[in-house]
A = this chain, B = another copy of it.
Protein backbone atom coordinates (compact mmCIF):
# COMPACT_ATOMS: atom_id res chain seq x y z
CA UNK A 1 0.00 0.00 0.00
CA UNK A 2 2.77 2.39 0.91
CA UNK A 3 4.70 1.44 -2.16
CA UNK A 4 1.74 2.13 -4.36
CA UNK A 5 1.15 5.54 -2.91
CA UNK A 6 4.83 6.23 -3.09
CA UNK A 7 4.69 5.53 -6.80
CA UNK A 8 2.56 8.61 -7.18
CA UNK A 9 4.70 10.78 -4.92
CA UNK A 10 6.38 13.82 -6.33
CA UNK A 11 7.78 17.15 -5.28
CA UNK A 12 7.47 19.76 -7.97
CA UNK A 13 7.36 23.45 -8.79
CA UNK A 14 4.50 25.33 -10.45
CA UNK A 15 4.23 28.75 -12.02
CA UNK A 16 1.38 30.66 -13.65
CA UNK A 17 0.83 34.04 -15.21
CA UNK A 18 -2.25 35.85 -16.53
CA UNK A 19 -2.35 39.00 -18.59
CA UNK A 20 1.17 39.49 -20.01
CA UNK A 21 2.04 39.33 -23.69
CA UNK A 22 5.25 37.41 -22.91
CA UNK A 23 3.48 34.82 -20.79
CA UNK A 24 5.45 31.80 -22.04
CA UNK A 25 8.84 33.52 -21.78
CA UNK A 26 8.17 34.70 -18.24
CA UNK A 27 6.99 31.22 -17.31
CA UNK A 28 10.28 29.90 -18.69
CA UNK A 29 12.28 32.17 -16.38
CA UNK A 30 9.96 31.44 -13.50
CA UNK A 31 10.31 27.68 -13.95
CA UNK A 32 14.04 28.12 -14.33
CA UNK A 33 14.23 29.65 -10.87
CA UNK A 34 12.17 26.72 -9.55
CA UNK A 35 14.42 24.16 -11.23
CA UNK A 36 15.71 22.93 -7.83
CA UNK A 37 12.18 21.64 -7.13
CA UNK A 38 12.29 19.17 -10.04
CA UNK A 39 14.75 18.20 -12.73
CA UNK A 40 13.01 15.28 -14.42
CA UNK A 41 10.76 17.19 -16.77
CA UNK A 42 9.28 20.57 -17.58
CA UNK A 43 6.35 21.95 -19.53
CA UNK A 44 4.40 25.07 -20.37
CA UNK A 45 0.83 25.47 -21.65
CA UNK A 46 -0.45 28.78 -22.98
CA UNK A 47 -3.97 29.98 -23.70
CA UNK A 48 -4.23 31.85 -26.97
CA UNK A 49 -7.19 32.82 -29.14
CA UNK A 50 -9.52 30.24 -27.69
CA UNK A 51 -7.17 27.27 -27.67
CA UNK A 52 -4.55 25.77 -25.37
CA UNK A 53 -1.13 24.92 -26.76
CA UNK A 54 1.72 23.33 -24.92
CA UNK A 55 5.22 21.98 -25.04
CA UNK A 56 6.82 19.67 -22.52
CA UNK A 57 9.66 17.19 -22.29
CA UNK A 58 12.01 15.20 -20.10
CA UNK A 59 15.01 17.07 -18.70
CA UNK A 60 15.86 20.51 -17.40
CA UNK A 61 13.93 23.61 -18.42
CA UNK A 62 16.85 24.62 -20.63
CA UNK A 63 16.91 21.20 -22.26
CA UNK A 64 13.18 21.06 -22.92
CA UNK A 65 12.73 24.56 -24.32
CA UNK A 66 14.61 26.07 -27.20
CA UNK A 67 14.07 29.44 -28.73
CA UNK A 68 11.73 28.22 -31.46
CA UNK A 69 9.56 26.09 -29.18
CA UNK A 70 9.22 29.01 -26.77
CA UNK A 71 8.50 31.54 -29.51
CA UNK A 72 5.74 29.30 -30.81
CA UNK A 73 3.88 29.54 -27.50
CA UNK A 74 1.98 32.77 -28.04
CA UNK A 75 -0.64 33.98 -25.61
CA UNK A 76 -1.16 36.18 -22.57
CA UNK A 77 -1.79 33.38 -20.06
CA UNK A 78 0.38 30.40 -19.20
CA UNK A 79 1.04 27.75 -16.59
CA UNK A 80 4.22 25.76 -16.17
CA UNK A 81 5.60 22.88 -14.17
CA UNK A 82 8.94 21.35 -13.21
CA UNK A 83 8.83 17.73 -12.14
CA UNK A 84 10.84 15.93 -9.51
CA UNK A 85 13.10 13.09 -10.63
CA UNK A 86 11.42 10.04 -9.13
CA UNK A 87 13.36 6.82 -9.33
CA UNK A 88 11.02 4.26 -10.87
CA UNK A 89 8.11 6.13 -12.40
CA UNK A 90 8.44 8.96 -14.81
CA UNK A 91 8.11 8.99 -18.52
CA UNK A 92 7.06 11.66 -20.97
CA UNK A 93 3.32 11.28 -20.51
CA UNK A 94 3.56 12.14 -16.81
CA UNK A 95 5.36 15.42 -17.44
CA UNK A 96 3.05 18.32 -16.66
CA UNK A 97 1.08 20.45 -17.37
CA UNK A 98 -1.31 17.68 -18.40
CA UNK A 99 -3.51 18.84 -21.26
CA UNK A 100 -6.99 17.39 -21.80
CA UNK A 101 -8.85 18.44 -24.92
CA UNK A 102 -12.49 17.86 -25.65
CA UNK A 103 -14.94 19.12 -28.23
CA UNK A 104 -16.35 21.55 -25.69
CA UNK A 105 -13.14 23.02 -24.25
CA UNK A 106 -9.75 22.08 -22.89
CA UNK A 107 -8.10 22.09 -19.49
CA UNK A 108 -4.42 22.10 -18.53
CA UNK A 109 -3.30 21.04 -15.06
CA UNK A 110 -0.10 21.68 -13.11
CA UNK A 111 0.13 20.18 -9.65
CA UNK A 112 2.51 20.18 -6.70
CA UNK A 113 1.71 17.75 -3.92
CA UNK A 114 0.30 14.29 -3.45
CA UNK A 115 -3.29 13.10 -3.43
CA UNK A 116 -3.52 10.44 -0.73
CA UNK A 117 -6.71 8.88 -2.12
CA UNK A 118 -5.69 8.94 -5.79
CA UNK A 119 -5.40 5.16 -6.14
CA UNK A 120 -8.91 4.56 -4.87
CA UNK A 121 -10.42 7.33 -6.93
CA UNK A 122 -8.72 6.00 -10.02
CA UNK A 123 -9.99 2.47 -9.40
CA UNK A 124 -13.54 3.74 -9.11
CA UNK A 125 -13.29 5.97 -12.16
CA UNK A 126 -11.90 3.13 -14.26
CA UNK A 127 -14.60 0.78 -13.07
CA UNK A 128 -17.07 3.29 -14.48
CA UNK A 129 -15.35 3.43 -17.88
CA UNK A 130 -12.84 6.26 -17.62
CA UNK A 131 -9.57 5.78 -19.49
CA UNK A 132 -6.44 7.29 -17.94
CA UNK A 133 -3.58 8.62 -20.03
CA UNK A 134 -0.95 8.82 -17.32
CA UNK A 135 0.05 7.20 -14.05
CA UNK A 136 0.05 10.59 -12.32
CA UNK A 137 -2.37 11.30 -9.48
CA UNK A 138 -2.96 14.70 -11.06
CA UNK A 139 -5.09 13.20 -13.82
CA UNK A 140 -7.70 12.12 -11.28
CA UNK A 141 -8.75 15.74 -10.86
CA UNK A 142 -9.46 16.12 -14.59
CA UNK A 143 -11.71 13.05 -14.59
CA UNK A 144 -13.54 14.23 -11.48
CA UNK A 145 -14.20 17.58 -13.15
CA UNK A 146 -15.45 15.94 -16.36
CA UNK A 147 -17.66 13.52 -14.44
CA UNK A 148 -19.25 16.26 -12.37
CA UNK A 149 -22.87 17.09 -13.23
CA UNK A 150 -22.62 20.55 -11.63
CA UNK A 151 -24.10 23.30 -13.81
CA UNK A 152 -21.04 25.53 -14.31
CA UNK A 153 -17.39 24.75 -14.88
CA UNK A 154 -16.44 26.53 -11.67
CA UNK A 155 -18.87 24.42 -9.70
CA UNK A 156 -17.48 21.30 -11.38
CA UNK A 157 -13.97 22.27 -10.28
CA UNK A 158 -15.16 22.93 -6.75
CA UNK A 159 -16.96 19.59 -6.56
CA UNK A 160 -13.88 17.77 -7.84
CA UNK A 161 -11.68 19.49 -5.24
CA UNK A 162 -13.90 18.18 -2.44
CA UNK A 163 -13.19 14.58 -3.47
CA UNK A 164 -9.39 14.72 -3.47
CA UNK A 165 -7.45 14.38 -0.20
CA UNK A 166 -3.88 15.03 0.83
CA UNK A 167 -1.55 17.84 -0.16
CA UNK A 168 -2.11 19.79 -3.33
CA UNK A 169 -1.39 23.09 -5.00
CA UNK A 170 -3.16 23.17 -8.35
CA UNK A 171 -3.00 25.50 -11.32
CA UNK A 172 -5.72 24.89 -13.91
CA UNK A 173 -5.82 26.79 -17.16
CA UNK A 174 -8.72 26.89 -19.60
CA UNK A 175 -9.14 28.97 -22.71
CA UNK A 176 -10.79 31.65 -20.59
CA UNK A 177 -9.64 31.40 -16.98
CA UNK A 178 -6.83 30.51 -14.62
CA UNK A 179 -7.85 28.57 -11.47
CA UNK A 180 -5.58 28.34 -8.41
CA UNK A 181 -6.32 25.98 -5.53
CA UNK A 182 -4.49 25.02 -2.32
CA UNK A 183 -5.51 22.09 -0.14
CA UNK A 184 -7.34 22.84 3.13
CA UNK A 185 -4.20 22.34 5.23
CA UNK A 186 -1.90 24.31 3.00
CA UNK A 187 0.91 21.76 2.99
CA UNK A 188 2.71 23.24 0.03
CA UNK A 189 3.74 26.88 -0.47
CA UNK A 190 1.93 28.94 -3.10
CA UNK A 191 2.20 32.71 -3.49
CA UNK A 192 0.50 35.40 -5.54
CA UNK A 193 2.29 38.36 -7.07
CA UNK A 194 1.79 41.13 -9.62
CA UNK A 195 3.88 42.16 -12.60
CA UNK A 196 2.40 45.41 -13.82
CA UNK A 197 -1.21 44.54 -14.58
CA UNK A 198 -0.47 40.84 -14.82
CA UNK A 199 -1.09 38.26 -12.09
CA UNK A 200 1.56 35.70 -11.24
CA UNK A 201 1.49 32.64 -9.01
CA UNK A 202 4.41 30.44 -8.03
CA UNK A 203 5.56 27.74 -5.63
CA UNK A 204 8.29 30.06 -4.35
CA UNK A 205 8.83 33.79 -4.30
CA UNK A 206 12.24 33.49 -5.94
CA UNK A 207 10.28 33.14 -9.19
CA UNK A 208 8.85 36.61 -8.64
CA UNK A 209 12.27 38.15 -8.04
CA UNK A 210 13.71 36.63 -11.17
CA UNK A 211 11.04 38.17 -13.40
CA UNK A 212 10.82 41.44 -11.51
CA UNK A 213 7.36 40.79 -10.07
CA UNK A 214 6.12 41.99 -6.67
CA UNK A 215 4.94 39.61 -3.95
CA UNK A 216 1.34 40.17 -2.84
CA UNK A 217 0.16 37.39 -0.56
CA UNK A 218 -0.07 33.64 0.08
CA UNK A 219 -2.84 31.51 -1.38
CA UNK A 220 -4.88 30.45 1.67
CA UNK A 221 -5.63 26.84 2.59
CA UNK A 222 -8.94 25.80 1.03
CA UNK A 223 -9.02 28.84 -1.24
CA UNK A 224 -10.01 28.72 -4.91
CA UNK A 225 -8.83 31.74 -6.91
CA UNK A 226 -10.23 32.43 -10.37
CA UNK A 227 -8.40 34.89 -12.62
CA UNK A 228 -9.98 35.99 -15.87
CA UNK A 229 -10.45 39.06 -18.04
CA UNK A 230 -12.58 40.47 -15.23
CA UNK A 231 -9.71 40.28 -12.72
CA UNK A 232 -9.20 38.04 -9.73
CA UNK A 233 -11.90 36.55 -7.49
CA UNK A 234 -11.35 34.54 -4.32
CA UNK A 235 -13.69 31.76 -3.24
CA UNK A 236 -13.43 28.76 -0.97
CA UNK A 237 -13.97 25.09 -1.75
CA UNK A 238 -13.30 24.09 1.89
CA UNK A 239 -13.31 25.83 5.28
CA UNK A 240 -9.96 27.19 6.41
CA UNK A 241 -8.07 24.92 8.78
CA UNK A 242 -4.85 25.60 10.71
CA UNK A 243 -2.03 25.66 8.20
CA UNK A 244 0.28 22.66 8.18
CA UNK A 245 3.00 23.92 5.91
CA UNK A 246 5.76 21.41 5.29
CA UNK A 247 8.78 21.84 7.61
CA UNK A 248 11.07 20.41 4.99
CA UNK A 249 10.50 23.41 2.74
CA UNK A 250 12.32 25.45 5.38
CA UNK A 251 14.90 22.81 6.22
CA UNK A 252 16.10 21.78 2.80
CA UNK A 253 13.74 22.16 -0.09
CA UNK A 254 13.15 25.84 -0.85
CA UNK A 255 15.74 28.20 -2.29
CA UNK A 256 17.58 30.45 0.23
CA UNK A 257 16.32 33.60 -1.47
CA UNK A 258 12.65 32.57 -1.27
CA UNK A 259 10.27 33.64 1.45
CA UNK A 260 7.97 30.77 2.37
CA UNK A 261 4.76 32.02 3.98
CA UNK A 262 6.61 35.25 4.74
CA UNK A 263 9.79 33.85 6.24
CA UNK A 264 13.13 34.11 4.39
CA UNK A 265 14.71 30.72 3.95
CA UNK A 266 18.37 31.72 4.35
CA UNK A 267 17.54 33.55 7.57
CA UNK A 268 15.47 30.64 8.85
CA UNK A 269 18.31 28.23 8.17
CA UNK A 270 20.90 30.49 9.78
CA UNK A 271 18.65 30.57 12.84
CA UNK A 272 18.46 26.77 12.75
CA UNK A 273 22.27 26.75 12.79
CA UNK A 274 22.48 29.15 15.71
CA UNK A 275 19.95 27.17 17.71
CA UNK A 276 21.76 23.96 16.87
CA UNK A 277 25.00 25.54 18.16
CA UNK A 278 23.32 26.34 21.45
CA UNK A 279 21.73 22.90 21.77
CA UNK A 280 24.75 20.91 20.60
CA UNK A 281 28.08 22.78 20.67
CA UNK A 282 31.29 21.04 19.62
CA UNK A 283 35.03 21.33 20.26
CA UNK A 284 36.33 21.78 16.73
CA UNK A 285 38.60 23.76 14.39
CA UNK A 286 36.25 24.37 11.48
CA UNK A 287 32.57 24.22 10.58
CA UNK A 288 31.49 23.05 7.14
CA UNK A 289 28.08 22.49 5.60
CA UNK A 290 26.90 19.92 3.09
CA UNK A 291 26.04 21.96 -0.02
CA UNK A 292 23.68 23.46 -0.96
CA UNK A 293 20.96 23.41 1.68
CA UNK A 294 23.19 23.33 4.78
CA UNK A 295 25.51 26.21 3.87
CA UNK A 296 23.29 28.76 5.62
CA UNK A 297 22.93 26.49 8.64
CA UNK A 298 26.69 26.05 8.91
CA UNK A 299 27.25 29.80 8.69
CA UNK A 300 24.82 30.28 11.56
CA UNK A 301 26.49 27.54 13.58
CA UNK A 302 29.93 29.09 12.96
CA UNK A 303 28.74 32.57 13.86
CA UNK A 304 27.21 31.39 17.13
CA UNK A 305 30.19 29.25 18.16
CA UNK A 306 32.99 31.42 16.79
CA UNK A 307 34.52 28.42 15.04
CA UNK A 308 35.60 29.46 11.50
CA UNK A 309 33.31 28.50 8.65
CA UNK A 310 35.18 26.83 5.77
CA UNK A 311 34.42 25.19 2.40
CA UNK A 312 35.22 21.66 3.46
CA UNK A 313 32.99 19.99 0.89
CA UNK A 314 32.52 20.86 -2.78
CA UNK A 315 29.49 19.95 -4.83
CA UNK A 316 29.99 19.22 -8.46
CA UNK A 317 27.64 21.57 -10.27
CA UNK A 318 27.14 19.59 -13.45
CA UNK A 319 25.74 16.28 -12.17
CA UNK A 320 22.47 16.13 -14.09
CA UNK A 321 20.10 13.69 -15.68
CA UNK A 322 22.62 12.54 -18.25
CA UNK A 323 25.53 12.04 -15.87
CA UNK A 324 27.04 8.58 -16.30
CA UNK A 325 27.17 6.84 -12.91
CA UNK A 326 30.52 5.24 -12.13
CA UNK A 327 30.52 1.47 -12.10
CA UNK A 328 30.68 -0.32 -8.77
CA UNK A 329 34.36 -1.11 -9.33
CA UNK A 330 35.24 2.50 -10.08
CA UNK A 331 33.29 3.64 -7.05
CA UNK A 332 35.29 1.28 -4.91
CA UNK A 333 38.47 2.71 -6.40
CA UNK A 334 37.40 6.10 -5.07
CA UNK A 335 35.58 7.79 -7.94
CA UNK A 336 33.34 10.46 -6.43
CA UNK A 337 30.30 11.94 -8.02
CA UNK A 338 28.44 14.77 -6.45
CA UNK A 339 30.53 15.71 -3.45
CA UNK A 340 34.27 16.06 -2.89
CA UNK A 341 36.10 16.93 0.33
CA UNK A 342 38.56 19.82 0.16
CA UNK A 343 41.74 18.14 1.31
CA UNK A 344 43.63 21.40 1.75
CA UNK A 345 40.95 22.63 4.14
CA UNK A 346 40.04 19.64 6.29
CA UNK A 347 43.41 17.87 6.61
CA UNK A 348 44.48 17.80 10.23
CA UNK A 349 41.33 19.53 11.43
CA UNK A 350 38.51 18.69 13.85
CA UNK A 351 35.46 19.25 11.66
CA UNK A 352 31.85 20.08 12.48
CA UNK A 353 29.83 18.79 9.51
CA UNK A 354 26.35 20.33 9.34
CA UNK A 355 23.63 18.59 7.34
CA UNK A 356 19.86 18.94 7.06
CA UNK A 357 18.71 15.38 7.63
CA UNK A 358 19.61 11.73 7.94
CA UNK A 359 17.23 9.52 5.97
CA UNK A 360 18.80 6.12 5.44
CA UNK A 361 22.21 7.01 6.84
CA UNK A 362 24.18 5.90 3.81
CA UNK A 363 24.93 9.39 2.53
CA UNK A 364 26.04 10.61 5.98
CA UNK A 365 28.30 7.60 6.43
CA UNK A 366 29.87 8.26 3.04
CA UNK A 367 30.52 11.93 3.77
CA UNK A 368 32.01 11.21 7.19
CA UNK A 369 34.34 8.64 5.63
CA UNK A 370 35.25 11.06 2.87
CA UNK A 371 36.23 13.73 5.37
CA UNK A 372 38.34 11.28 7.34
CA UNK A 373 40.12 10.08 4.20
CA UNK A 374 40.88 13.73 3.42
CA UNK A 375 42.60 14.03 6.79
CA UNK A 376 39.96 15.25 9.23
CA UNK A 377 41.00 14.16 12.73
CA UNK A 378 37.46 14.34 14.18
CA UNK A 379 34.05 14.61 12.55
CA UNK A 380 31.13 15.98 14.56
CA UNK A 381 27.82 15.69 12.75
CA UNK A 382 25.07 18.23 13.50
CA UNK A 383 21.63 17.89 11.90
CA UNK A 384 19.38 20.93 11.57
CA UNK A 385 16.18 18.92 12.05
CA UNK A 386 14.79 16.31 14.44
CA UNK A 387 15.15 12.63 13.46
CA UNK A 388 12.84 11.61 10.58
CA UNK A 389 10.87 8.65 11.90
CA UNK A 390 7.81 8.55 9.65
CA UNK A 391 7.20 8.63 5.90
CA UNK A 392 5.67 11.65 4.20
CA UNK A 393 2.38 11.29 2.31
CA UNK A 394 2.23 14.90 1.22
CA UNK A 395 4.66 15.08 -1.64
CA UNK A 396 8.16 14.73 -0.20
CA UNK A 397 9.81 11.60 -1.51
CA UNK A 398 11.39 10.44 1.76
CA UNK A 399 11.11 6.72 2.10
CA UNK A 400 8.99 3.98 3.58
CA UNK A 401 9.15 3.66 7.34
CA UNK A 402 11.33 0.56 7.12
CA UNK A 403 14.04 2.49 5.36
CA UNK A 404 14.16 5.39 7.84
CA UNK A 405 17.20 4.84 10.02
CA UNK A 406 15.78 7.00 12.84
CA UNK A 407 12.69 4.82 13.10
CA UNK A 408 14.84 1.84 14.14
CA UNK A 409 17.92 3.16 15.89
CA UNK A 410 18.81 5.51 18.72
CA UNK A 411 20.93 8.59 18.14
CA UNK A 412 23.94 6.82 19.63
CA UNK A 413 23.40 3.81 17.35
CA UNK A 414 23.12 6.09 14.34
CA UNK A 415 26.34 7.83 15.36
CA UNK A 416 28.11 4.49 15.33
CA UNK A 417 26.56 3.52 11.97
CA UNK A 418 27.67 6.71 10.24
CA UNK A 419 31.05 6.67 11.99
CA UNK A 420 30.93 10.15 13.52
CA UNK A 421 32.75 11.23 16.65
CA UNK A 422 29.59 12.89 17.88
CA UNK A 423 26.08 13.35 16.52
CA UNK A 424 23.23 15.65 17.48
CA UNK A 425 19.82 16.46 16.02
CA UNK A 426 17.95 19.70 16.54
CA UNK A 427 15.00 19.38 18.96
CA UNK A 428 11.41 19.87 17.80
CA UNK A 429 11.14 22.94 19.99
CA UNK A 430 14.37 24.25 18.52
CA UNK A 431 13.02 23.73 15.02
CA UNK A 432 9.77 25.55 15.70
CA UNK A 433 11.34 28.44 17.55
CA UNK A 434 14.17 28.94 15.06
CA UNK A 435 11.78 29.11 12.14
CA UNK A 436 9.45 31.27 14.17
CA UNK A 437 6.02 29.87 13.40
CA UNK A 438 5.24 27.73 16.47
CA UNK A 439 2.74 24.95 16.17
CA UNK A 440 0.32 26.41 18.68
CA UNK A 441 -0.36 29.61 16.74
CA UNK A 442 -3.72 29.30 14.99
CA UNK A 443 -3.45 29.29 11.19
CA UNK A 444 0.37 29.53 11.20
CA UNK A 445 1.10 25.91 11.98
CA UNK A 446 3.68 23.63 10.47
CA UNK A 447 3.56 19.95 9.51
CA UNK A 448 5.81 17.86 11.73
CA UNK A 449 4.39 14.49 10.66
CA UNK A 450 7.70 13.04 9.49
CA UNK A 451 9.18 13.69 12.95
CA UNK A 452 6.11 12.75 15.01
CA UNK A 453 3.80 10.53 12.97
CA UNK A 454 0.90 12.88 13.66
CA UNK A 455 -0.54 13.25 10.16
CA UNK A 456 -2.87 16.25 9.77
CA UNK A 457 -5.19 14.28 7.45
CA UNK A 458 -6.66 10.82 7.59
CA UNK A 459 -4.43 8.76 5.36
CA UNK A 460 -5.88 5.32 5.88
CA UNK A 461 -9.24 5.60 4.11
CA UNK A 462 -10.28 6.98 0.76
CA UNK A 463 -13.56 8.74 0.13
CA UNK A 464 -15.67 7.12 -2.55
CA UNK A 465 -17.34 9.93 -4.47
CA UNK A 466 -18.93 8.01 -7.31
CA UNK A 467 -20.78 5.32 -5.43
CA UNK A 468 -22.64 8.11 -3.68
CA UNK A 469 -23.37 9.83 -6.95
CA UNK A 470 -24.77 6.76 -8.61
Contacts and interface: CB of A to CB of B under 8 A. Distances in A.
Contacts of A344: 257, 259, 264-267
Q: How many monomers of this protein are in the complex?
A: 4
B126 A211 contact: no
Given A122-B103, A311-B295, A317-B35, A324 B28 contact: yes
Given A33-B316, A35-B317, A344-B259, A324 B65 contact: yes
A167 B383 CA distance: 47
Contacts of A467: none
Nearest to A104: B126
A26 interface: yes
A33 B26 CA distance: 33
Interface stretch (A329-337, A394-402, A449-457): A329-337
Interface stretch (A127-135, A227-235, A243-251, A422-430): A127-135
B62 A323 contact: yes
A310 interface: yes
A160 B144 CA distance: 24
Interface in A40-95: 60-63, 65-67, 70
A102 interface: yes
A206 B314 contact: yes
Given A342-B257, A345-B266, A130 B132 contact: no
A91 to B, nearest CB: 11
Interface residues of A, number: 86
Given A209-B336, A299-B310, A318-B62, A103 B126 contact: yes
Contact of A267 (B212, B335, B345): B345
Interface in A266-309: 266-267, 270, 295-296, 299, 303, 308-309
B142 A131 contact: yes
Interface of A: 22, 25-26, 28-29, 32-33, 35-36, 60-63, 65-67, 70, 100-104, 122-123, 126, 129-133, 135, 142-143, 146-148, 195-196, 206, 209-213, 255-257, 259, 264-267, 270, 295-296, 299, 303, 308-311, 314, 316-320, 322-324, 326-327, 329-330, 333-337, 340-345, 374
21 contacts: A22-B327, A25-B327, A28-B324, A32-B318, A32-B319, A61-B318, A62-B318, A62-B320, A62-B322, A63-B322, A102-B132, A104-B126, A195-B333, A206-B340, A209-B343, A211-B334, A256-B314, A264-B344, A266-B310, A266-B342, A299-B310
